[in-house]
Amino acid sequence: MPLNEKQTRFAEEYLIDFNATQAAIRAGYSKKTAYAQAHQLLKKLEIREFLAIKRAAQSKVADVSATDVLIALKRIGFGDIRGLFHEDGTLKSIHELSDETASCVAGFEIAHSIRSGREHVTKVKRLDSLRALELLAKHFGILVEKVDHDGEITIKWKD
């Protein structure tokens, strides 16, 4: 069964930020019931299929695969900050950094020296390696935030 106009709008809004409640509100559902509506909408097979098709198209247009994302997370999570420095402990210039080391850097703080007229790096900010490792662990099922229960529970009553 095809999606109606409101469901299609919800799905398209959901793809913007993956916030189902806000997507429902932006699609025209009541603010009071948006959370419940969003929950129900995401259960619908037609909407899940629509989202899968759109996400695959986005991935193709962006030329990004799941493997690319995992490799980037691996670089951030396991990146070694020693690659930022020369043997004598001085900081390498940005052009000297390997791709692996550069991909771990979030930014630089640069100061201008009045005396020499030159700029120099005073601080290097590293991307969050713990967050990258957490995402990798979740992806590979090493870190599970919910407990799945299967099997039987037997309750014995004592008289």
The pTM score is: 0.58
Please report, as a single letter, which amino acid is at residue 30: S
Q: What is the pLDDT of residues 22-78, one digit of tens each?
A: 999 999 999 999 999 999 999 999 999 999 999 989 888 888 888 999 999 999 999
CA terminus-to-terminus distance, the chain: 55
Residues 6+ apart with CB under 8 A from 111: 119, 120, 122
Same-domain status, 32 and 76: no
Q: For residues 72 and 28, state if they share a domain.
A: no
Structural domain range at position 35: 5-62
Is 130 contained in some domain? yes
